[in-house]
Amino acid sequence: MTNVVVVGSQWGDEGKGKIVDWLSERADIVVRFQGGHNAGHTLVIDGVSYKLSLLPSGVVRPGKLAVIGNGVVIDPHALIAEIDKLGKQGVTITPENLRVADNATLILSLHRELDGIREDAASNSGTKIGTTRRGIGPAYEDKVGRRAIRVMDLADLETLPAKVDRLLTHHNALRRGLGEPEISHDAIMLELSSVADKVLPFMDTVWVLLDKARRKGARILFEGAQGTLLDIDHGTYPFVTSSNTVAGQAAAGSGMGPGSLGYILGITKAYTTRVGEGPFPTELHDEIGQFLGERGHEFGTVTGRKRRCGWFDAALVRQSVAANGITGIALTKLDVLDGLDELKICVGYTLDGQQIDHLPASQAQQASAKPVYITLEGWKESTVGARSWADLPAQAIKYVRQVEELIGAPVALLSTSPERDDTILVTDPFED
């Protein structure tokens, strides 16, 4: 397979950053295809940590082209700040190694404000979704509503004022209804003009760039942000993100055809975590859940929010395998399970006295579903830094094999620490 799509198979935070960085060494181009700066990747290279939230992971690798596709919503201030931050860490980002889709939607200050207003109101009514308040959802709403300001609009000052007026017709009516002050046309124009010169040098017709690269045989790596279970259609709605996170979005969010995608690699944590609100059947509120959180350093890359932790949910990952057409998985953080006497894996649920093999789409049924577990023996030996099957305890191998069987997909890579070289390669996704 020439190209590889990397997707999270759980609720995000599966360790995609390390895997994408590991794969980027084999790729020519790394493409971000959905989401915004509401999710992050942490890369650890030679002991140095790089925290990315909007930029594709390939930017930290010399000689790689990083691309932000049209499926991403871009906060220009966040983009500029992230470029500057990485520059201070010695990573030079220029229009030579970063291209941004001209038809990508911009996140503006009014989107961030609206996100916060809604979340505060929801907190008071007990219906909070748990957004990052970064304007992602409202920006996608404007995109679908055909009133968004896009990257290319920064270069067209003649038509931009009319587009801003159209955007404000909607937002000011909404703000009046919420009892909030209106936003002036001049304020938005000033906001856009202040970032135009810094963003426009990176602008490109990305679908053309990628099509030419594909025809020349370039290896393209596609990376998403949040996991499959946060997909707007296939996730635990309404506690989801505002975009499609599944592998099929790699095509729509970059301008390439589905036949160009190739190998679908699902990043899968050896246990389960979730940030924010929403159902979580295998969540642990005991000392084991605390152990997993502390050992796994389970805090959000972007927000620092503490992640909820629980046992591995094979039923949910099996759904993700089907929704994405996953070819193989990268199993991460196996080492976090070291030292536990026993391990549990969820294989299905009980609902209204019946056993089912998948989590229903209904919010009420998701909240009522109870996990059905199998129990495996744990291991006392350390798996930290293992780089071959021979380095793993027998019970750890048994756990991995059980995961493969239950989710219906093989392990292609096995990660045993945040360091990129602490990886057991079973199948190279880039090999034909």
In sequence order, the 6+-apart residues with CB closer than 8 A to the CB of 143 are 73, 105
Distance CA 278, CA 372 (A): 19
What residue type is 170 in one-letter code?
Answer: H
CB 302 within 8 A of CB 37: yes
Between strands 105-106 and 73-74, the pairing is parallel
Q: For residue 90, give Cα distances in angstroms to 27, 49, 93, 156, 203.
A: 22, 12, 10, 34, 23
Catalytic residues: 13, 41
Three-class SS string for 379-407? CCCCCCCCCCHHHCCHHHHHHHHHHHHHH
Which residues have CB under 8 Å from 79's CB, separation 6+?
37, 54, 55, 100, 199
Per DSSP bridges, beta strands 4-8 and 220-227 are parallel
Rounded Cα distance, 297 and 279, in Å: 22
Bridge partners, residue 112, by sequence: none
Q: Specify the DSSP class assigned to residue 72.
A: B
User: Distance between CA 169 and CA 424 in Å, rounded?
Assistant: 55
